[in-house]
Amino acid sequence: MAGADYIIVGSGINALVAAALLGRKGRKVLVLERNDRIGGCIRTEEITAPGFVHDVMATTFVLFLTSPAYPEIGPELEKRGLAFAHTATPTAVLLPDGRHAILSMHRNANVAAFDKLAAGDGARFAADIDRVGADAPFLFALLGGSAARPASRSSHSCVLQVSPLRTTSMQPFAMSMS
């Protein structure tokens, strides 16, 4: 794309959000992807049984839904067909011996489910969740950042801002991470 203001290498969710936010600001954005489809780890595939599809790495959608970017670009994405199917039981654990736990959105139910698998595991789970909760502001700042920033330093994508050549240098791109 001649005249791109930004070139984004990789097309995971962070890259696509960055491209959308830059595009909304009137910037020309080129997204480069080496794979045969965009989306990075987030994709729907038939990988477990014929006719059964599920979202691979869909857990990262939560970070998008709770980020500052979603209120800004979510309505436009929904107009174009994006819809989330939420569930009260988002994940489960299946052990080799056949025991299992279906986890819910409710902490106390999950504590009980882990205790059912092994005494004390519920308390360990609660302690781990408390530790994550204590660090949540720091963790989510690393993962989300402000919607005004096209990419964060924690992003796995590389955002390049195209700069006009001022010399005969062979480096036409300047890295922009702010």
Name the pTM for this structure.
Answer: 0.59
More confident residue, 150 or 117: 117
Stretch (H or E) spanning 140: helix 121-143
Average pLDDT over residues 31-51: 88
Identify the CA nearest to 69 among candidates 24, 17, 138. Answer: 17
**Identity of the residue numbered 15:** A
pLDDT at 155: 39
Which of 34-43, 50-59, 61-70, 92-101 ranks highest by mean pLDDT?
Answer: 92-101
pLDDT at 64: 83
